Structure 1
Amino acid sequence: MADYFEIRATYTQQTITVYQAYNEQIADVAIRHQRFGAPFSFNRMTWIKPSFMWMMERSNWGLKKNQERILAIELKRTFFDWLLEHAVLTTPEPHVYAHAGVWEELFNQANVYVQWDPERSLNGKKLEYRSLQMGISRNLIRQFNDEAIVAITDLSPLVKKCHTLLVNGKSSKAKSFLPVERIYPVSSAARKATGMKNI
């Protein structure tokens, strides 16, 4: 049985793949330069998701407006692990913070935010365990873009293929095209910061 909190991801010894969804203009620049650039905004928080299926839930398989292009972003694991260890949850969970005042002070100073949402099945069903979403504040976005990104791949054709198969009732075939995800190893400091605790 899966732990209630798990990070499932595609990763190597050096990198972890996370997903984001953008409009055509932002995606084209990102793919061309292997970095984000205008019209991408460096003045607002950006959210990354290691779970491909949660990205599909969030973007409705790339059908939502301004989320038509699904990008796979390979990040240096050293940067991702640092983000985890410096994260603050978006809610004052009592098993993590002594009281709401402690959380509020940390939240107001944070540059990295984490929330846990129900993981999704291939057909969009809520599963019994959680999936991580990580928000990177504008104070760290330049570092994220300039130092942490190893590669950016456009998965939009794959997403469309899988969605077409699902619509036509070919779930097993669609599943065969999905990225292979494994449980991502997390340090004790990161587990504490992100509230990863079995319940």
Structure 2
Amino acid sequence: MTEYVTLAGGCFWCTEAVFKDVIGVESVESGYIGGDVENPTYKQVCGGDTGHAEAIRIGFDPAQLQLGDLLDIFFATHDATQLNRQGNDVGPQYRSAMFPVDDAQETEMRAAIERAQADQSRPIVTTIEPMTIWYEAEGYHQDYWETSGRTNGYCMAVIPPKLQKLRKSFAARSKAAVTA
């Protein structure tokens, strides 16, 4: 049975590309969560005034991929020590955040923060926020790396290093590394 987790780690194009390459991930959807405007648009969220984060909702098979392993990949492939920022993307919409669906997910998330903090000299600033209404991003944001990202200079600068880190640090979990 598919389980879902919602994570925000900067630009959703970049986080989506990483998790689409993880064995056990069945779906990745880009969207917006954590704000106070109904049916926000990309333009509104990018303005930083809606309170939403760019996020991904990951569907995964817990028989193939444990939530703790998925969260370890999340922390390894973005900078969880930057407040409201990932690289050149600045603002609360690019915050590092997790949105648990229940107490068990929240417990796993707290444990993942502790594991990630053990490997960092700077404090982890990732927040655990209440699960609120999920708004799917506009269609052109879905599967962005596969459809448009390889011709987008920003994506070409940011996504390949994230994928390299995944394939090096989590080779047994990477679809590309296993089939290479």
Question: Structure 1 length as normaliser, TM-score?
Answer: 0.28
More helix by share: 2
Larger Rg: 1
Question: Structure 2 length as normaliser, TM-score?
Answer: 0.30
